[in-house]
Amino acid sequence: METLPQNRTGKYLPYAFTEQGVAMLSGILNSDKAINMNISIMRAFVEIRRILLQQGDIKEQLRQIQERINDHDIQLSSVYEAIENLLDDTIAKKKWEERERIGFKK
């Protein structure tokens, strides 16, 4: 059974190149296939960097949406409370009009 190479801390080393490692490797390998592969890998690194930068923007947008939702929740609560008050007033008015009259009746 083959074991993976370890670094000084005992953790396993990854089987991957960093962006700088790919650039250094391209200086050594000179075939057309190696150059095309290097270009593809460098483009992948650029795309990954772009996606990571967008995630920061997405987090900010989510924070702003959360704030708006909280503001809307407060506004909706006020609207619901106003509607409940109107309904209570309407019910109270109906009860007042439907009450049994006392005294002189027409």
| pTM exceeds 0.85 for this model | no
Band of pLDDT at residue 6, cut at 50, 70 and 90 = low
| Domain-embedded: residue 47 | yes
Instruction: Please state, in angstroms and as integers, the Cα–Cα distance from residue 83 to each residue in 69, 73, 80, 104, following that order.
Output: 21, 15, 5, 36
Q: Which domain holds residue 81?
A: 19-96
Instruction: Render 82-98 in DSSP notation, one character per residue.
Output: HHHHHHHHHHHHHHHHT
44: confidence class by pLDDT, cuts 50, 70, 90: confident
Identify the pLDDT of residue 1: 47
Answer yes or no: is 36 within a domain.
yes
For the chain, the domain total comes to 1
In a domain? residue 103: no
Query: Does the residue 101 lie in any domain?
Result: no
Hey, which residues does 12 pair with through a beta bridge?
A: 6
Residue 48 located in a structural domain: yes
Contact 38, 28 (CB under 8 A): no
Domain membership of residue 88 (yes or no) is yes
Residue 51: enclosing H or E segment and its boundaries?
helix 32-97
